[in-house]
Structure 1
Amino acid sequence: MLTVWQKAPLYDLDRGTAQSWIFTLTRNRCFDMLRKQKRQPNTISADDIWPTEGDGDAVFVNEERGSLEVEIAQIERFYSDLPEAQQAVVRQIFVLDRTHEEAAKALQIPLGTLKSRLRLGVGKLRQLIGPTP
């Protein structure tokens, strides 16, 4: 929430709702944390902290961040459930932080197709993730 207050002067009502702007800030912060985690080898297995039931995959988390990394790992698993075309679009927009036009050009698809795949991909991710508390 501190970031929202700090960046409040940057919010532009003409570009979208406050909710979508806050979601974008949060999403970008998560990707920043993922990038930072890849550079930091100081990780431990989640099994060392929380024993898993069954034969679940080991999830690595940074000691300082707790469950956020576990949630990001779950999102990455949901991402892999998307069709390849939707994965490519979601990656271009959210991971590489490209504009719709740049992503369409990079993928060599029409802008409308990109927007359709993005809407379907994000919708499926929301469905897979489920309601947030």
Structure 2
Amino acid sequence: MAEAICDIKGIHINPTMLKIFLKCKGIEKTIIITDSYVTPGCEKNKKFNMPNGIEFYAKNGVNYQSKSGHITGSAMTMDLSVRSMIKHTGIGLKEAILMSSFNAAKIIDLHYRKGSIEVGKDADIIAIDEKINIFATIVEGEMIYNRL
């Protein structure tokens, strides 16, 4: 298995390289991830400090060091990462969801409980439309977010 950080602008992985990556690894051996921390969902232009004191800010789903402008990580959510994988590679929604759910559960040996909807598994479900807008989130059978 291999992980891919898929941001909308192709900063973490160039879209051409992402296509090559996916062709080499295949859908079944690729996991869509974010490397985000702290900043997803925070107000624009807010600055943060790392434990080592380095200041950073989020812009367009990417965290940058305030001083140098170097990338310090991601500020994107999983829905954006899935949307970006589809945009950059042309794969279908079904394949992208597999890479962000079942494959991720498999690598940490939780695929017997998580990552797909089957009898006996935890009911971890998101309700989305074709544009990957999230309308509801259910965790272990309990609705924790509802915009339906």
Taking structure 1 as the reference length, what is the TM-score of the superposition?
Answer: 0.26
In terms of fraction of residues, the more helix-rich structure is 1
In terms of fraction of residues, the more strand-rich structure is 2
Q: Which has the higher contact order (CA 8 A, sep 6+)?
A: 2
